[in-house]
Amino acid sequence: MEENKNKIPKFVLPIVALVIVLILIVVAIIMLNHIKDSSEEEIKGYAKLLEYKDDTYTYIFDGDQVKTYTGYSDMDDFYYDVTCVSKKLEENQYFSEDALVSSSEKIIVDYGVYDDITQVAGGRYYKVEKDNMYGIIDYHGEVIIPVIYEYITVTAVQNEKEFIFIGEKENEQYEYLNENGKVMMTSDGKSYSSNISYYNKFNDEYDTIISINVDGKIRYFDIVTGEEVLKDEENLNFKYHMQIKDKKIIIYNKNMSIKEEIDSSSSYSVTADVYYGKYIVLSERNLADGKRSGRYTVYNEEYNKVFTSENEITLVQDEDENIYFVTTGNDNVEIYNKKGLVAKIDEHTYTASYNEKGKFIVAKRLAEAKYDVYDFKGNVIVEGISNYRYSGNTLIITRKTEESTTDAILISKDKEIALKTGDNVIADQYIIVENLTDLTLSIYDLKGNRIFDPITGTKELYTDNYVITKNEGVYRIFDIKEKVMKFEYHADEFVSRDEKLNLIKLKNGYYNYNGIKLIELTEEK
């Protein structure tokens, strides 16, 4: 048999395999570096302009990094590690050109590309002007909206997180654009920036649906896609992807297709409320034959039913962020989780706490004006208190007898922190007890352990892990996490404080909360 001349030698195959593996490794490294670079680009690199003197701009960056810049006629604060700068023209010092640069002075948008560059939307975008026309670029320098408008208005939709742009064209025509630069709608003769509304969805989030009031008719748009939804509908009570209309509740999927229609013709009140960013409670209250009744339904983020009851439902959360459904019937409180009934407390009603999470459930006795405190399994923690209140997620209980009334912070069944007259409680990551009578502060962790001996003074600021006090004209900064006083300064030296950067300005310089001088200042005479 004739030998195959095209046969590949055996030693070649391992070499080819090795080359392929090396190529894949190189590609993976490039992709990882690209991902890293992309993530770094999204960091909100904020730097505050602290001082301009002798043509030098001095900035403080997060992490107490100090940088100086020269050669510019104007600079803004840095956002996303980018800012707008100006330089005077060499041939005419009365005029200047703008550019967009990074903190390392890398040019993002070169001088002269635009006649003017202005920070908008918290530094996420920049309004640019060229030949008396306007457009929008992002902090990468990418064009979001071309320079084709006579003017552009920037409108924050929700808590400065999302924005809409309204571009004015000739003949007083206005175009509404989303952040992708898509024109959502056009109106003639008026700008409706004050009539744009968003719809809550979950905690710290927002529904993508907005409404724009145009001559009394409300039009609905998806701010992400820019598409109009719910056409030919007017003035709806639209909430959490639910339309609440006369005699009907319509629940939508996320793509705005109809998921469910509920007959609510017998309801005198219909509301929808969100809990913990995960659930919506749809409450339908009815009145028939003079008797009140209701239907209460819990939906999750996918708008699927999770729990239904004829009794009013409140969602509560324990310290481990487990969520429970608490209902109050005619004579009892029932505690449920996803698996079913956890505990039943007879002869009590539930009193909603409105705190986000905690260790306890407070229920009021039907027979007398007293409260009992339970854990989430229905075990008694404290009985017979006369009143209660919350500071953050920390429960404060009141006991009242014929002889006295006393308050205490409830830590556990076996541990409380006694309070005295004049005490004010602030609870977050730590528990701070401020006595307004003898002007002292006591600081505890959430387990009730004392961190500092009582500190003399009044509380000026409590932020993150720091407490700033003032006593007889002296400020003191305490690091709660490290359990030590870091810095003190006199009131007559104090100029200002920047809480975002944990920065103190005194007459002779800028200091961080640890008392380290970052920038020297010469006192002006």
Encode pLDDT of 206-241 as tens digits. 566 777 777 667 777 888 888 887 666 655 555 556
* 228, 230, 273, 320 from 301: Cα distances, Å: 22, 21, 13, 20
User: Which 8-state DSSP code applies to residue 492?
Assistant: G
Flag residues of the chain having pLDDT under 70: 1-43, 158-160, 189-208, 215-216, 230-241, 246, 254-256, 288-290, 353-356, 522-525
* 77, 121, 291, 381 from 129: Cα distances, Å: 20, 16, 65, 66
Confidence (pLDDT) at 12: 53
pTM, whole model, 2 decimals? Answer: 0.71
Handedness of CA 481, 486, 491, 497 (dihedral sign): negative
Q: Which residues of 27-46 are buried (b: 16+ CB within 10 A; e: fewer)?
A: eeeeeeeeeeeeeeeeeebb
Confidence (pLDDT) at 392: 86
Please report which helix (H) or strand (E) contains residue 47, including its range.
Answer: strand 47-53
> What pLDDT digit, counting tens, does each position of 110-138 carry?
999 999 999 999 899 999 999 999 999 99
Please report which helix (H) or strand (E) contains residue 289, including its range.
Answer: none
> What pLDDT digit, counting tens, does each position of 483-511 carry?
999 999 999 999 999 887 889 999 999 99
Confidence (pLDDT) at 19: 57
Confidence (pLDDT) at 232: 60
Cα distance between residue 104 and residue 180, in whole Å: 28
Quick check: helix, strand or coil at residue 304? coil
**172 neighbors 189 (Cβ within 8 angstroms):** yes
Confidence (pLDDT) at 40: 37
**124 neighbors 81 (Cβ within 8 angstroms):** no
Angle subtended at Cα 186 by Cα 180 and Cα 190, rounded to the nearest 5 degrees:
120
> Which residues of 375-430 form beta strands (DSSP E)?
380-385, 387-391, 394-400, 405-412, 415-419, 423-427
Confidence (pLDDT) at 41: 38
Cα distance between residue 434 and residue 422, in whole Å: 8
